[in-house]
Amino acid sequence: MHVDSWALKAKKFGYRTRAVFKLDEIIQKTKVLKKSKYVLDIGSAPGGWSQYIKQKSKKSEVYALDILDMELVEGVNFYQESIENIDSIDSIFALMGSFNLVISDIAPNLTGINAIDTENIYELNVLTLKVAARYLDKCHGSFIMKTFQNSMLKSLRKKMELSFKIVQTFKPAASKKQSGEIYLYGAYK
């Protein structure tokens, strides 16, 4: 198995995944972590992003959910639950409208059939956007979401522009060149 330099770097620094460097680049450019008391991590397994947030912002309260199990991260409130059922998690529901940062590295299982994968990615991204819009602080909230370069990207970005004052697209250096993944950032400020 080929291990790239980002995976080796993640291992060296004790991170669970190379994806932390994608999040790190976006956070460094947007400075969103400085005032993030409450952070919601949607699609959190295996836990690399939650781990990163807790290491970089020890005072942040991190709430993470995923349908997959996730090895516990110290200081992170993890719930093995589907995004569709987020309102049933009392501790998260009680903070609706209070999250300063919502992050999402969620992706559906891919079938290899482009039309189906594109639609599934889009539907999951739209659901994630709707959840973020409900749970974020409308004055100072920010949102970072993984998506993919495909025929629905323009439509997804337009939906984000209807919700946020600032919308930016990122292709972090830690993303594999051949990967179609990109990240959308939205902020109310």
User: Residues with catalytic annotation?
Assistant: 146
- Chain-centroid distance of CA 20 in Å reads 11
* Burial group, residue 22, by CB count within 10 angstroms (0-12, 13-18, 19+): buried
Q: Is 11 helix (H, G, I), strand (E, B) or coil?
A: helix
* Residues 76, 78: Cα–Cα separation, whole Å: 6
| DSSP string computed for 62-113 | EEEEESS-----TTEEEEE--GGGGGG-HHHHTTTTTBSEEEE---PPP-S-
Q: Which of 63, 59, 60, 47 is nearest to 10 (CA)?
A: 47
| DSSP string computed for 29-51 | HH-TTTT-SEEEEET-TT-HHHH
Phi first, then psi, for residue 18 (nearest 5°) are -70, -20
